[in-house]
Amino acid sequence: ELKVEQNPLFLSMQEGKNYTIYCNYSTTSDRLYWYRQDPGKSLESLFVLLSNGAVKQEGRLMASLDTKARLSTLHITAAVHDLSATYFCAVDISSGSARQLTFGSGTQLTVLP
Amino acid sequence: KAGVTQTPRYLIKTRGQQVTLSCSPISGHRSVSWYQQTPGQGLQFLFEYFSETQRNKGNFPGRFSGRQFSNSRSEMNVSTLELGDSALYLCASSLDFDTQYFGPGTRLTVL
> Tens of pLDDT along B89-102?
999 999 877 889 99
Non-local (6+) Cβ contacts of B71 within 8 A are none
Nearest to A42 among B56, B98, B104 (CB): B104
pLDDT at B111 over 90: yes
**Cα-trace Rg, chain B:** 13
Nearest to A94 among B42, B92, B97 (CB): B97
Question: Which 3 state secondary structure label does DSSP give A2?
Answer: coil
For residue A4, list chain B residues with Cβ-Cβ distance below 8 A: none
Question: Which 3 state secondary structure label does DSSP give B2?
Answer: coil
Nearest to A88 among B43, B58, B101 (CB): B43
Interface contact B104-A102, CB threshold 8 A:
no
Residue B56 touches partner A, C-beta closer than 8 Å: yes
Distance of CA A5 to the CA centre of its chain: 10
pLDDT at B12 over 70: yes
pLDDT reported for residue B63:
97
Interface contact B100-A98, CB threshold 8 A:
no
Residue B94 CA neighbour count, 13 Å, CB half: 16
Interface contact A99-B48, CB threshold 8 A:
yes
Cβ distance B33 to B44 under 8 Å?
Answer: no
- Bridging pattern class, strands A85-92 and A32-37: antiparallel
Residues of chain A scoring pLDDT < 70: none
pLDDT at B1 over 70: no
> Tens of pLDDT along B31-78?
999 999 999 999 999 999 999 999 999 999 999 999 999 999 999 999
